[in-house]
């Protein structure tokens, strides 16, 4: 049992160390597929350990620019522009970037040939030291991961943060310590490629339909999320959202000690809201750990993120008093309901990270109404009609951008007035013209960004730049 300022959390055997494999890579022919951020980091790691590394990407050298040049400077072989099957079948080991589906033909052929295929997260898991706090979910992963990192650091625990949040996990291996914590955001794509990852603390914030352009069924997507529980034991901790139907059903998926969080009901074991308080309970004992007024973040979904983070902090031995102060200071993460400016009485908010319909809904719910909503991007086979009730209740105008604009307009025609914009600059200017003092202009696209931008961060930065120009 770990006791934290009067809160008792049954997390005793989290003190057990994770197994580390320390792979011998010397002389092995390793193929890295995908030269994005994690692919580049994996290639560097492998080359530094004596592997014979080849990097393969369907993009050309011109498209990969600086990354390709950096690989050549390290003496790493590049095969670009296609995926030659013999390159895959002749490898000793293949490390796949999360953006590359495991179902592509060269990977299927390599698997049939007996080649081991893993993801960058798995490569890191076999070499990283200390304890792992893993966070997944359809929404809230990045905010929860960031906040947990802050809570542990403020309690003077040796902590590093990475994964899907931006810093590849493989880049954290060198700095990991036996007594430290690696707090990692895990996407469903990343979880597809793990086999030995052990999350000493595994958190699932929520699961709603997403990435249906990649998964055949919603059940396939849920199955990928469930892989966060692989290799957990009774000495580990699982933290789940009791208010989400899918995550609530995951209580049987792991032998780990189970803690839940809920905004709607009291729990025997976990954190819940009671009036204006967050209450922690373990069996018969309970304690108020925070006032809801201490949380600066907007929206019920962020209240859930805070509850999950508090449970993770308790599991890792963070001080309740320290966590309370850290939460009071926490103002959120860039591109997640980020306040940008107030111009002529109109507030502008950037939630570019709202890359699916459920995330967009949560962003809309954070405001009482009078919203001009910028929506659109690259479709993920989403059902935009589910947004109709919220749009009818809280939205004044819809401004549509990107490749999904036709599909969104067809789904939401007649719900509220719709205008089309040719660019983010056009969208921001039209939003300014449609908004009145007291209104909110909200970028919550409900789509991926790759039709117009490099990623959601690029999209959010462009939005902020265009808002700045309005001043």
Query: Which residues are identified as catalytic?
Result: 141, 164, 211
- The ranges assigned to domains in the chain are 29-118, 128-329, 338-470
The pLDDT value recorded for residue 270 is 97
The pLDDT value recorded for residue 19 is 44
The pair of structure tokens assigned to 50 is 């004596």
**Burial class of residue 79 in the structure, from the number of CB atoms within 10 Å of its CB (0-12 exposed, 13-18 middle, 19+ buried):** middle
The pLDDT value recorded for residue 23 is 72
Tens of pLDDT along the chain (471 residues) come to 334 443 444 443 355 444 445 678 999 999 999 999 999 999 999 999 999 999 999 999 999 989 999 999 999 999 999 999 999 999 999 999 988 999 999 999 999 999 999 999 999 999 999 999 999 999 999 999 999 999 999 999 999 999 999 899 999 999 999 999 999 999 999 999 899 999 999 999 999 988 888 899 999 999 999 999 999 999 999 999 999 999 999 999 999 999 999 999 999 999 999 999 999 998 778 999 999 999 989 888 999 999 999 999 999 999 999 999 999 999 888 999 999 999 999 999 999 999 999 999 999 999 999 999 999 999 999 999 999 999 999 999 999 999 999 999 999 999 999 999 999 999 999 999 999 999 999 999 999 999 999 999 999 999 999 999 998
- In CATH, the number for domain 338-470 is 3.90.190.20
CA distance 77 to 131: 34
Residue pair 21/42 in contact (Cβ under 8 Å)? The answer is no
- 65 CB-near residues (< 8 Å, 6+ apart): none
The pLDDT value recorded for residue 15 is 52
What global pTM score does this model have?
A: 0.85
The pLDDT value recorded for residue 167 is 93
- In CATH, the number for domain 128-329 is 3.40.1190.10
CA distance 110 to 455: 30
Which of these, 449, 409, 284, 438, lies nearest to 346 by C-alpha position? Answer: 438
The pair of structure tokens assigned to 332 is 């959120």
The pLDDT value recorded for residue 166 is 83
Phi, psi of 414 (to 5 degrees): 90, -10
Map residue 441 onto helix, strand or coil.
Answer: strand
Residue pair 164/187 in contact (Cβ under 8 Å)? The answer is yes
Show the 3-state SS of 381-422.
CCCHHHHHHHHHHHEEEEEECCCCHHHHHHHHCCCCCEEECC
Residue pair 181/199 in contact (Cβ under 8 Å)? The answer is no
- In CATH, the number for domain 29-118 is 3.40.50.720
CB atoms within 10 A of CB 456: 21
């Amino acid at each position: 049992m770990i006791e934290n300022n009067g809160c008792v959390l049954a997390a005793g055997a989290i003190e057990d160390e994770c197994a580390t494999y320390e792979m011998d890579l010397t002389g092995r022919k390793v193929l890295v597929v995908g030269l994005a951020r994690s692919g580049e980091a994996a290639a560097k790691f492998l080359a530094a350990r004596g592997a014979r590394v080849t990097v393969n990407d369907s993009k050309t050298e011109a498209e990969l620019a600086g990354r390709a040049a950096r690989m050549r400077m390290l003496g790493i072989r590049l095969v670009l522009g296609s995926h030659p099957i013999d390159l895959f079948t002749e490898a000793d080991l293949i490390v796949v970037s999360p953006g590359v589906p495991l179902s592509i033909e060269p990977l299927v052929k390599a698997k049939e040939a007996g080649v081991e295929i893993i993801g960058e997260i798995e490569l890191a898991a076999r070499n990283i030291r200390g304890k792992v706090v893993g966070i997944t979910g359809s929404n809230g992963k990045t905010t929860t991961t960031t906040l947990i990192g802050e809570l542990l650091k403020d309690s003077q625990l040796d902590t590093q943060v990475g994964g899907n949040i931006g810093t590849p996990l493989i880049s954290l291996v060198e700095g990991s310590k036996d007594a430290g914590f690696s707090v990692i955001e895990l996407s469903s794509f990343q979880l597809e490629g793990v086999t030995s990852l052990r999350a000493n603390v595994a958190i699932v914030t929520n699961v709603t339909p997403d990435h249906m352009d990649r998964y055949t069924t919603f059940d396939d997507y849920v199955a990928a999320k469930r892989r966060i529980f692989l290799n957990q034991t009774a000495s580990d901790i699982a933290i789940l959202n009791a208010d989400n139907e899918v995550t609530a059903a995951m209580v049987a998926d792991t032998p780990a000690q189970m803690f839940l969080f809920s905004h709607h009901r009291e729990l025997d074991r976990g954190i819940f809201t009671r009036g204006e308080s967050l209450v922690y309970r373990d069996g018969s004992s309970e304690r108020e750990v925070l006032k809801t007024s201490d949380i600066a973040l907007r929206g019920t979904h962020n209240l859930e993120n805070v509850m999950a983070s508090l449970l993770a902090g308790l599991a890792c031995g963070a001080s309740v008093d320290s966590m309370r102060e850290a939460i009071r200071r926490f103002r959120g993460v860039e591109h997640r309901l980020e306040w940008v400016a107030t111009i002529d009485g109109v507030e502008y908010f950037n939630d570019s990270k709202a890359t699916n319909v459920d995330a967009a809904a949560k962003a809309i719910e954070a405001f009482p109404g009078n919203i001009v909503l910028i929506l659109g991007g690259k479709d993920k086979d989403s059902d935009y009609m589910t947004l109709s009730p919220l749009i009818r209740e809280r939205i004044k105008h819809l401004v549509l951008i990107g490749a999904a604009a036709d599909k969104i307009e067809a789904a939401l025609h007649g719900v509220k007035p719709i205008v089309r914009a040719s660019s983010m600059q056009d969208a921001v200017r039209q939003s300014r013209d449609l908004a009145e003092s007291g209104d909110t202009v909200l970028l919550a696209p409900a789509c991926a960004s790759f039709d117009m931008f490099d990623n959601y961060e690029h999209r959010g930065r462009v939005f902020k730049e265009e808002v700045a120009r309005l001043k």
